[in-house]
Amino acid sequence: MTAALLPIGRFARVTGLTAKALRHYDRIGLLRPAEIDSGGYRRYAPEQVDLARRIALLRAVDVPIEDVRRCLADERLFDDVLAAQRRRLDARLTRVQRQLHTLHHLLAEGTEPVMTNAPQLDPEDERRLAAALFNGTWQLLEKPERTRTEDDEMLHMAHASRHHWGVVGQPVNLARGEWQCSRVYAVLGRPEPCLHHAQRVLDLCTEHGMGDFDLAFAYEALARASAVAGDLDRARAYTEQALAAAEAIAEDEDRELLLSDLESIPGQERFW
């Protein structure tokens, strides 16, 4: 039997786990080696390969160790654990998007505001209110589970933020406000207003010559809205336009964020 055992280095190569991870999983009792010899060298049985690969798969998408342990104990929990992790990752992605959008807003604040005839607060108060509502909307978007009241609050905050940016913001702020409104309607499963606000993002980008991050996300919003509406062919077409626009994004992190966002569009899984 000993001759058939795999040393830790070879076992790591065939399973996709590192030797360091395997030693850690041994210490916490997640995956014990079949044998530890007198010199302390770990060896694994060939029948442990499939189990280790399943662990590697779950950990590759950051499933918590305790959830991995639950899956190994009861395979019927596999789908539920993955669904829960999907919600956590979606919330994490939304949180990163909020932070990035906040940075973009902060960078745009040094330019002259676009003024309207609407009744105004003090411009600085208006700007702070617009940003606070924008960030508050993101915080609600990040919640894996929301109440109906929170859904309503999220929707009204997104529109209120867009209104206040319309008073003191630059075109880039307006486009990002429209994008957030579209995303909220996508999350709520309401295709018509989702499409409307996504189209407004693209219109603003076209009208004001905005490219880079904002143009790519205009196409992302339209792809997502089309998917919510059940038009997967149009969603695919807009996804391709978003990918083409991504080539012109200056910052690598912005490009990676866009690509991650495109992968989360409902019904698009078969395209990736």
Q: 102 and 211: one domain?
A: yes
Tens-digit pLDDT profile for residues 222-241: 999 999 999 999 999 999 99
Q: 182 and 228: one domain?
A: yes
Q: 170 and 204: one domain?
A: yes
Contacts for 69 with CB less than 8 Å, ≥ 6 apart = 30
Q: 196 and 245: one domain?
A: yes
The tokens describing 192, both together, are 């018509």
Residue that is written with structure tokens 């915080």 in the block: 139
Q: What is the pLDDT of residue 114?
A: 45
Percent of the chain with pLDDT over 70: 92
**Residue of 124 and 221 predicted with greater confidence:** 221
pLDDT tops 50 at residue 112? no
Q: 156 and 93: one domain?
A: yes
**In this structure, are residues 143 and 91 in contact, taking their beta carbons and an 8 Å threshold?**
yes
- Judge whether 69 lies within some domain: yes
Q: 98 and 213: one domain?
A: yes
Q: 108 and 204: one domain?
A: yes
- Judge whether 80 lies within some domain: no
Q: 182 and 65: one domain?
A: no
Residue 114: C-alpha distances to residues 135, 162, 167, 235, 262 (Å): 21, 13, 7, 33, 31
Give the model's confidence band at 35: pLDDT under 50 very low, under 70 low, under 90 confident, else very high.
Answer: very high
Contacts for 91 with CB less than 8 Å, ≥ 6 apart = 142, 143, 144
Tens-digit pLDDT profile for residues 76-110: 998 989 988 888 888 888 777 777 777 776 776 55
List the beta bridge partners of residue 43.
7, 35
